[in-house]
Amino acid sequence: MEKRYVVRTDEKISDAMSREEAIKKVKEYHHQGMGAYIVSEDEGERLKNNHWNTPKWS
């Protein structure tokens, strides 16, 4: 099974896509001056649902 990825920007999270598509999309965002990065589809779902692992400092 092929792994799927999503592209995360400050404003949105993309739909799942192949690795090659995700790299192309990040390059497009970079060319437009936007910051973006690739995460796994599972991590993207976690981010969409706002399930952040906030560290608890003692």
DSSP annotation string for 2-38: ---EEEEESS-BPPPB-HHHHHHHHHHHHHTT--EEE
Q: Model's pTM, two decimal places?
A: 0.74
Q: How far apart are CA 29 and CA 52, in angstroms?
A: 24
Domain ranges of the chain: 5-48
Q: Give the whole-angstrom CA distance, residue 3 versus residue 56.
A: 32
For 9-55, write each residue's pLDDT tens digit.
888 889 999 999 999 999 999 999 999 999 999 888 887 776 666 66
Q: For residues 8 and 17, is the Cβ–Cβ distance under 8 A?
A: no
